[in-house]
Structure 1
C-alpha cells in the first residue's frame, strides 16, 4: 500500500485493489473519501495513517457497499470523525435489519457475522438534490450518479479532483470483471452518460485509475455494460426460470457458486441485467403455474 499525490491537497491511498482518496486539511488532519474494506485493507490503511501522523477528521462516502464503508465505524470510534453519506445509503447501513434489504439471500445471523461491521452511524445526510457539502470547513461538490447503487455520488475536492467511486470502472477492471455490478443497469447507464457533462482537472476511479480526461472511459464503460447484458441475453432460452438463467450464466461466464454467500452474490449481480433486458424489450416474462419464466421476443 502506498500514498499517491494527485493534485494540491488531494491524495489517494493505493490499496492494490482500489484507490481511496483523501484531502489534507493540514499536516495532521485528513478527510477520507470512502474508508475501504475491513478485511485485507484495514491494517495497512491504518499503518499508513500512523506512519504519516494522519488523523481522520471526516469520511465522505460515495455509497454503502462493503468495500467503500467497511472501516467507517472502526475509524469513527478511533478518531471520533464525522461520517457523511447519501441519505438512502446511510439508511441501508444503519442496521443489520436494513442490510437485509441488500443481502436478501442471507439470514440475519449470516449478515451479522459477515457484514455486521458495515453498520455505522451517519452524522451528515446528503440529499438527492444537494450539489455540495461542507465538512470541517472544506467544500466538496456533489454529482449524483444513481445506478451502481441507489444513491451513488461522485465527490469533487477543492482541487477540482473528482472521485468517481464506482460510477465508472477502469480499463483493467473491464478486462477482468465477468459480471460487473449495477443495482439498476438502466439508471447506471444514464448516470455514466451524464458524466460527459462533468468538467474537472483530474478523475479518480475506485476500481481503478487516475485520469486527466474520462471521455473515452465513459464510452468504453457504456459499451462494456451493454455487452455484458447482451451476453446474458444470448444464454436465455424460451421458458427459462431465473434459476435456469442463473445456471446458464454461471456456466457461460465461468462463475463459481459453492456457498450460500456466493449464490446470493451471483443473484445480486445477475438480476439487474435480466431486469434491464426486460425494460428494453429484449425479453418477456410470463407466469406459468405460479412460476416466472423468461423468453426472448
Structure 2
C-alpha cells in the first residue's frame, strides 16, 4: 500500500484505498490528483515526495468525498501547496461537515462524524481551467457526486476519480454510491468513448481500455433500478425498500451504510419518479413509493 507506480513519462499513481494521482510538471515540481483519506495518507505521500526530491505545488481534488481530500490539510501545512476543488466540491472541501450532513439529511450525530465521512477542513480554492497545469485537460464527470472532474495529462493518461467501480466491488456490494443517476449514466456513456494511454480509476485497476468496465457499471445501474421497481410493486415506504435491498443483496446495515446506501437509494427513487417509472402516494402520513 502507498506504492508509487509510474504509468508514463510524467504520470504516476500512489496505490491506496482511493488511488492518488501524481504528475511531474518538471524535474522538481509535481502536483497531486487527490490526497488520500487522512493525515496518515498525507504523511506517506510526503515521504514519497521527499524520497524523490519533489516539490508539491498543488493538489487538484476531483471531488470532496473524505477519502479523496483527507490528506489535504496535512500536505498543505507541510508544503504550502495550493488546493483546488471544482464547483460545489470546493465548499464541501472547505466545510467538510457538509458531507455527513448531506448524507444524513440533517445534523449528523457523532457516529457519522469520522474520517471516512468527514475530512479535516482545508483551504481550497475553486478549480477552473485557468489554474490547471499547462496542457492538462479537465474532464467533467458528474453523477457520483455534485461536480466531480477527472484529468487528462499531457502524456495522455486519464484520472477518472470515482466515476466507476471495479467488477469485484460491484459484485460484492451491488449498490455503489451515486448522487445523480441520470448524470452518472451520461458520464459513463461519455467515458466509454474515451481513448488514452492509460486510465486510472480511483477504485478499480489501471487499464488501457475502460469501455468494458464502464458498460458493466451502466448495466449494474439498470439492474438496481429494475430491482427497485419490482420491490415497489406494492406501495412501500423508503425504510422498507431499503431493508429489502439490504436483505436481497446480503448487505450489513450500520450507520455508515445506512446513510451511504440510503442516500443512493433516494437518488434512484427520484430518478425513477422523474422518468415516469415510479410514483408516490401519501397514506396515514407516510410517503409510499409505487410502481406505475
TM-score normalized by structure 1? 0.87
Q: Partner of 1:129 in structure 2?
A: none
Q: Deviations over 1:184-238 (max 9, x none)?
A: 1111001111223433222111111222222222222211221122233333341
Task: State the alpha-carbon separation in 2 of the partners of residues 109 and 197 from structure 1.
Answer: 42
Q: Partner of 2:214 in structure 1?
A: 218
Q: Partner of 2:285 in structure 1?
A: 290
Task: State the alpha-carbon separation in 2 of the partners of residues 220 and 251 from structure 1.
Answer: 23
1:89 to partner: Cα distance: 0.6
5+ residue gaps, structure 2, are none
Q: Partner of 2:15 in structure 1?
A: 14
The structure where strand makes up a greater share of residues is 1
Counterparts in 2 of 1:18 and 1:287: CA distance versus 1, 3 Å: same
Q: Deviations over 1:94-153 (max 9, x none)?
A: 225534542335635636554553422213433xxxxx4544x53320111211111111
Q: CA RMSD in A?
A: 2.4
Q: Partner of 2:37 in structure 1?
A: 37
Matched, 1:201 2:197: yes
Task: State the alpha-carbon separation in 2 of the partners of residues 113 and 275 from structure 1.
Answer: 28
Q: Partner of 2:23 in structure 1?
A: 23
Matched, 1:74 2:74: yes
Task: State the alpha-carbon separation in 2 of the partners of residues 154 and 38 from structure 1.
Answer: 21
Contact 2:20–2:36, Cα closer than 8 Å, also in 1: yes
1:62 to partner: Cα distance: 0.9
5+ residue gaps, structure 1, are 127-131
Q: Deviations over 1:150-193 (max 9, x none)?
A: 11111111111110111122333333332101101111001111
Task: State the alpha-carbon separation in 2 of the partners of residues 237 and 39 from structure 1.
Answer: 47
Contact 1:31–1:56, Cα closer than 8 Å, also in 2: yes
Task: State the alpha-carbon separation in 2 of the partners of residues 45 and 232 from structure 1.
Answer: 42
Task: State the alpha-carbon separation in 1 of the partners of residues 166 and 271 from structure 2.
Answer: 22
The secondary structure found in structure 1 opposite 2:236 is coil
Task: State the alpha-carbon separation in 2 of the partners of residues 51 and 9 from structure 1.
Answer: 17
TM-score normalized by structure 2? 0.88
The secondary structure found in structure 2 opposite 1:84 is strand
